[in-house]
Structure 1
Amino acid sequence: MNTYLNKNDQYFYLFMTTAVLLILAIPVGFANIYLGYFHNESPCTLCWFERIGMVIIGVLGMFILRYGPQIKYIVCVFLFASYGIYMGIRHTSSWWQRDVGIGLGDKLVGAHTYTWAVVVYWCVVVVMGLSLLFIRKKSSMMQDLANEKIEPKPLSFYSKVVFTISFIVVCSNAFQALIINGIPPFTGKSNPDRLTFDMSIMTKTWTTEVWSRLAKFNLLGKNVPESVFIKDLNEPKNLIFERDSSKGAFEINKSIISLNHNYEITIPELSQFQSINAIAYNKNSDEFALITNEMAVAYTKDFNKSSSFVLFDKTNGNDMKYIVGATFVGDKLIIGAFNKTFSGTQKVSKEVKIDPMLEWQAFKQTSGSIMPAFFSHKEGWYEPSRKYILTIRAKQNYVHSYTNDGDFLYLITVPNQFSPKLILSYASTKDYLLSGESVLGVDKNLKLKKDRNINDYYIVATDVVGDKMLALSLRYSTMLVIDYKNAKIIDAYTINGLENPKSMAVKNDIIYILDRTNDHKDIIKTYKNPL
């Protein structure tokens, strides 16, 4: 057995011994002994997954101390560190988007304990990488890497102490796991009880729920709703749309009148794009805006030619994968995406000089005299920006429409399997911060069918007319009238002749609806405004 260790080797083993001590004694030992036995805090299922990974890495570190830096040990350390980083991110991401301070269990240095999993496993990768720098060409450790025969190494007093502490910590964790979770096949709990040694209490909540969850494993987690429906662009498999209005929740005896005047969109600048997703009307300039999913914007009066045109640099900036709606706030055009993120444009007179750098950053193409609606002033330059609304009730819902009444920007959610309610969210147009949210209800004068609710209506287009809001549902081909100040549906109309409506705009007494036909064309269909 080669017992000679040069200075470099000694530094490596000192470094590795300290690393084993730090990962087992501090995060695992602190969580097990201090939080567990003194604070009676019990780990949840994901906490156990994270803690087990740390224990395995600590044990691998002890194998390296005893048998040298074998390739298989080093590889396993990196593999389990990767596993731990994934588990830590998965656990922490469930709480990152919540309000400041909200989380599970106790804190360590201001951060909830499970968030430290990401830091600890990241440190493992860094420490293991740094420790490999100690392995030089002529060191005994290089011989260990190349030698197939595994030989035990002498342990220093420091290493023996760390081995003893580590053994106690591992055994203590196993003991705690048996008390809290039970003997296999019982597993961990998502919401564990406080630790007690009274087994008549602990055994009452032992469960095998993890096995059923593993059978339905999803890398993204279990609460991932389907995306929005946009014909020919994004069609979630599980979404089915009944078009018969009589099958909806309301007894409807009146219809929106079709004007039988359709407009084909022949604007040359838009012909190169596959899907026109939104329409908006500006009463100040008596002009429409059409927006493609690639964020090409054409201002037009007749849908045949454009007066102005821009193509955004959609890629660089906040995610706006699917454009679903647009609305004019004064002369500012808001272009909204399905994830409550939006950008915009604003036409200016030819006398107004637009910063060339700002124009280049925001647009790939421009006809001129159009500037980004949102930008910030940096030191000596401007930077285009995109806004987003952070909702609470609607956190698990996408939206398919944007409208405003001048003071507030309104969004209505589309329902999904995890959050089936229709939620009206609104943000002040002064700062675009969330001002309020309400679950849509039904006015007492509008009757629902027996055992029915409004949760399966699928709102794809909205516009404000006076003190009312028109909301077009793709499912059941129904136009809802909403008292948006009180979040109440007050009336409902059948609307016929639409195939796959996406957006709408109201000009005086006419509703202009952007419809995707089943032969893959975007056209404008017109109807009489019932309000």
Structure 2
Amino acid sequence: MKMKETTVNQIVSLAALALIALPVGIACIVLGYGLGDNPCILCWQERTAMVLVSLIAIFIMRYGLKPKYLGALVFASVYGLWAGYRHSSNHILRDIGQGFGPAILGVHTYVWVMVVFIVVLLFASLLLVLQGDRLSEKEDKHRWTGLNKTTVMVFLVVIGFNIVQAFTQTGPFPFIGQGDPYRMSFDKDKIVWSMDHWPKLSSLSARGSYAIERPDFADMPSSNTPALVNKASLTALNSVSLPSEIKGLATGVSYSPNRDMYAVVTSNNWVYFLSGDLKSVLASVLIDGAFSVEISNLTGVVFDGDSSVLITTDHKSFVRLAYDETAKFEDSYWLFMDGTDGVKELKRSRFSTVRAKYNYIASLGWDVQRQEYLTITLPAKVRNNFIVSRLSGEDFQLNSEAKIGNTSGEYPMITGLVIAEDKAYLLNHSGQQILVMDMENNNLETAISFSEIENPQGLTLVNGQYVVLSGVEGNNKLTFFK
């Protein structure tokens, strides 16, 4: 049954009154004038969206439930929901209890914003459903009630308080406020008008802080600036081409001495288990990167057991596999796109880091003594870092992170990593070096040079020899050095 226009009018009036008096009024008058809380730039966006929704509701009160007002209501609510999501995304994944600004009922205001606009959208949807096939026509004889007048008066009062707060605390255009605002004050010596947060044209990106270029392992930049001065040189003993069955560019290699077996991964999601003489492929699978955790651009592999390997992508997602002669490919059809029998999946998830959050990786190591996986960041034009992350082999969570010391000039591009006892050996792609890092203090101690390796992409140790992977599609090779 269709609601009467007067009923719609009163419901909309009550909703507008609740929106302007509660979230907007409390934020401005109680938190602002009462407790001295000033909005940040994102808070002002959210508050503006609520004011717009309230104003549109007043237009509906005055002129009736028209499609153009409903469209504007949805548009403003979606904008407000986006503003709340944008604000919450900066803080919502912090440790328990942490946040920005005051909390209401244990929830911070920027999260309540999303709740408010979801309620507005649900309210608008319910109002439309109850209208039946046609919208209510405005009745000419309808006169504004006390509720209508109260709504408008409260709206004007709250807007007045907001105008005073905005002008005095934020300032007129082109001042736009602060990301981390000062306490509200009317002392001219304590008021700060800022333009620091205007975006620069060179930094605009749809991905914001995540506008960092992914590595292309077939065309990685090189540098003539070594991380350390070479103190020794390696001699190439022999070079072995990997089997022709390997499809794509090889980006990681590891060796299991107890099984005399290699594992090799390629950037296009193939994983291969090879015999110790490197002449045959024992088993292979093409990982389904779209199933569950997104897996793409494989970059590292390491044996963490005699037959089990952990494989990482450049963005720190990982998959753990095991070579098992009894495993049937058909039993894992939803995990692998192609391949042979002999491989089973044990786990698929993601590594989460803190200092290395905005960096890609191209290496993976396994510390058998500490039962930890190690990754090292790749350099980036923005948010540049040289961080080693240690992740638990038990629950795959972050154990520790540290900045690697004793580098000069540009950060090296580490594409391979292997650990033996208390030393980590880092394959420096850009300098054609193996850097030796002390596992206790994370400092680089020395550098060992090698030569004539095209696109070095992986490093492992085999019987005391350094084995460097040359990643060239169609001609992947392992070169043994001593």
Whether the TM-score (by the shorter chain) exceeds 0.5 is: yes
What is the RMSD of the two structures over their aligned residues, measured on CA atoms? 2.6
Q: 1:67–1:153: 8 Å Cα contact kept in structure 2? A: no
Further displaced range: 315-324 or 130-139 = 130-139
Separation in structure 1 between the aligned mates of residue 415 and residue 268 of structure 2, nearest angstrom: 19
Separation in structure 1 between the aligned mates of residue 304 and residue 350 of structure 2, nearest angstrom: 16
Aligned residue in 2 for 1:381:
none
Show CA shifts across 1:126-176 (max 9, x none).
2212212233446643x89xxxxxx79632221211111111111111111
CA separation of 1:426 and 1:212: change in aligned 2, threshold 3 A: closer
CA separation of 1:185 and 1:227: change in aligned 2, threshold 3 A: same
Please report how far the alpha carbon of residue 44 of structure 1 lies from its aligned counterpart in structure 2 after TM superposition.
Answer: 0.4
CA separation of 1:46 and 1:217: change in aligned 2, threshold 3 A: farther
Aligned residue in 1 for 2:313:
337
Give 1:261's match in structure 2, choosing from 233, 239, 253: 239
Please report how far the alpha carbon of residue 124 of structure 1 lies from its aligned counterpart in structure 2 after TM superposition.
Answer: 2.1
Matched AA of 1:206: W
Aligned residue in 1 for 2:294:
319
Please report how far the alpha carbon of residue 354 of structure 1 lies from its aligned counterpart in structure 2 after TM superposition.
Answer: 7.6
SS at 1:441's partner residue?
coil
Q: 2:249–2:267: 8 Å Cα contact kept in structure 1? A: yes
Give 1:121's match in structure 2, choosing from 117, 125, 139: 117
Q: Is residue 387 of structure 1 aligned with residue 340 of structure 2?
A: no
Show CA shifts across 1:349-385 (max 9, x none).
53xx78976x3443344533432122xxxxxxxxxxx
Aligned residue in 1 for 2:398:
434
Matched AA of 2:121: V
Aligned residue in 2 for 1:231:
218
Q: 2:329–2:339: 8 Å Cα contact kept in structure 1? A: no
Aligned residue in 2 for 1:47:
43
SS at 2:128's partner residue?
helix
Separation in structure 2 between the aligned mates of residue 241 and residue 436 of structure 1, nearest angstrom: 29
Separation in structure 1 between the aligned mates of residue 236 and residue 98 of structure 2, nearest angstrom: 52
Q: Is residue 524 of structure 1 aligned with residue 477 of structure 2?
A: yes
SS at 1:197's partner residue?
coil
Q: 2:297–2:313: 8 Å Cα contact kept in structure 1? A: yes
Q: 1:320–1:338: 8 Å Cα contact kept in structure 2? A: no
Separation in structure 2 between the aligned mates of residue 166 and residue 511 of structure 1, nearest angstrom: 74
Please report how far the alpha carbon of residue 294 of structure 1 lies from its aligned counterpart in structure 2 after TM superposition.
Answer: 3.9
Separation in structure 2 between the aligned mates of residue 119 and residue 213 of structure 1, nearest angstrom: 32
Q: 1:66–1:153: 8 Å Cα contact kept in structure 2? A: no
Aligned residue in 2 for 1:471:
426
Separation in structure 2 between the aligned mates of residue 215 and residue 441 of structure 1, nearest angstrom: 31
SS at 1:94's partner residue?
coil
Q: Is residue 275 of structure 1 aligned with residue 249 of structure 2?
A: yes
CA separation of 1:347 and 1:527: change in aligned 2, threshold 3 A: closer
Aligned residue in 2 for 1:241:
222
Aligned residue in 2 for 1:209:
196
Matched AA of 2:169: I
CA separation of 1:471 and 1:361: change in aligned 2, threshold 3 A: same
Q: Is residue 82 of structure 1 aligned with residue 78 of structure 2?
A: yes
Aligned residue in 2 for 1:399:
361
Aligned residue in 2 for 1:379:
none
Aligned residue in 1 for 2:378:
414
- How is 1:41-120 mapped onto 2 (pairs within 5 angstroms)? 41-120=37-116
SS at 1:209's partner residue?
coil
Separation in structure 2 between the aligned mates of residue 401 and residue 132 of structure 1, nearest angstrom: 56
Matched AA of 1:338: D
Q: 2:325–2:341: 8 Å Cα contact kept in structure 1? A: no
Q: 1:45–1:188: 8 Å Cα contact kept in structure 2? A: yes
Q: 1:396–1:419: 8 Å Cα contact kept in structure 2? A: yes
Q: Is residue 499 of structure 1 aligned with residue 454 of structure 2?
A: yes
CA separation of 1:217 and 1:363: change in aligned 2, threshold 3 A: closer
Separation in structure 2 between the aligned mates of residue 426 and residue 34 of structure 1, nearest angstrom: 46
CA separation of 1:10 and 1:214: change in aligned 2, threshold 3 A: farther
Aligned residue in 2 for 1:457:
412
Separation in structure 2 between the aligned mates of residue 114 and residue 522 of structure 1, nearest angstrom: 54
Please report how far the alpha carbon of residue 61 of structure 1 lies from its aligned counterpart in structure 2 after TM superposition.
Answer: 1.0
Separation in structure 1 between the aligned mates of residue 471 and residue 446 of structure 2, nearest angstrom: 26
Matched AA of 1:528: F
Percent of aligned pairs with the same residue?
26
Please report how far the alpha carbon of residue 52 of structure 1 lies from its aligned counterpart in structure 2 after TM superposition.
Answer: 0.7
* Total equivalences in the alignment: 477
Separation in structure 2 between the aligned mates of residue 255 and residue 460 of structure 1, nearest angstrom: 19
- How is 1:126-141 mapped onto 2 (pairs within 5 angstroms)? 126-137=122-133, 140-141=136-137
5+ residue gaps, structure 1: 1-5, 145-150, 375-385, 443-447
TM-score after normalising by structure 1: 0.83
SS at 1:211's partner residue?
coil
Aligned residue in 1 for 2:468:
513
- How is 1:286-297 mapped onto 2 (pairs within 5 angstroms)? 286-297=260-271
Separation in structure 1 between the aligned mates of residue 366 and residue 82 of structure 2, nearest angstrom: 41
Please report how far the alpha carbon of residue 215 of structure 1 lies from its aligned counterpart in structure 2 after TM superposition.
Answer: 7.9
Q: Is residue 368 of structure 1 aligned with residue 341 of structure 2?
A: yes
Separation in structure 1 between the aligned mates of residue 351 and residue 133 of structure 2, nearest angstrom: 57
Separation in structure 2 between the aligned mates of residue 476 and residue 507 of structure 1, nearest angstrom: 22
